[in-house]
Amino acid sequence: MITGSPQMTWCPPFWTLPISTASRYGSHGAFYRYKNSMGKSLPLFYIYDSYLTSPEAWAHLLTPNGPHSIRNTPYDGVFIALLVEEGHTHDILAAGFDGMYTYFASNGFSFGSSHQNWKAVKNFCDANNLMFIPSVGPGYIDTSIRPWNNHNTRNRVNGKYYETALQAALTVRPEIVSITSFNEWHEGTQIEKAIPKKTPTRLYFDYLPHQPSLYLELTRRWAEHFIKEKEQWLM
């Protein structure tokens, strides 16, 4: 399947959000759960900026023998850390996370977000029983809020950038592909319907000459392709 990537900003006390979320919504039928390697269906959490907390501190919570371990408790889950730098792979493993995701929609912005590194990361994850979740996006441009960041702009190329990222993700045979969008119109990563719009301070990019639903249609097409590919992988 292809999932959106929920963004969770970590604020002290850094364990409050997952615990309160699980306590309040954990029994709801619509609360998303993922079956882990042990066959348990657990809540799945993407942890943004996880590297700002030391692996030792995470290990207290996420390793089975940690002094404050939540493993095999009502607050257990599938915890996915943000991979930015190459060295974070070993930190994520030591911290007790269940996997890693790349988040950024700009290919080449970081080690983790660079398509050319995904095969090596996937190999590391496979060797250490971790999930690798590559993140894709339709493009990236945030100069309206970060004028100095033009070098990380990635043009949509009428959908080709998105499809190139999706193809790169499927090549490494991941369990999940996350789409980094979350209606980030100010960063140019939106995939919902769009029409031309201009305000006194900002020009929003549309999908012309294509229809407003272009990226939703591409997402559906690649989701169907992903499902078929996974069926082949498991044969």
Given this model, what pLDDT does residue 17 score?
A: 62
Q: What sign has the CA pseudo-torsion 87, 90, 95, 96?
A: positive
User: What was the pLDDT predicted at 27?
Assistant: 82
Q: Measure the N-to-C terminal CA separation of the chain; round to a whole number of Å.
A: 17
Instruction: Give the pLDDT of residue 26.
Output: 82
pTM, full prediction: 0.89
Amino acid in position 21: T
Q: All domains of the chain, ordered by start, with CATH?
A: 33-234 (3.20.20.80)
pLDDT at residue number 10 = 34
Residue-wise pLDDT for 7-20, tens only, equals 333 333 445 566 77
Count of other CB atoms within 10 angstroms of residue 94: 15
Low-confidence ranges of the chain (pLDDT < 70): 1-18
Please state the φ and ψ torsions of residue 44, each to the nearest 5 degrees: -110, 125
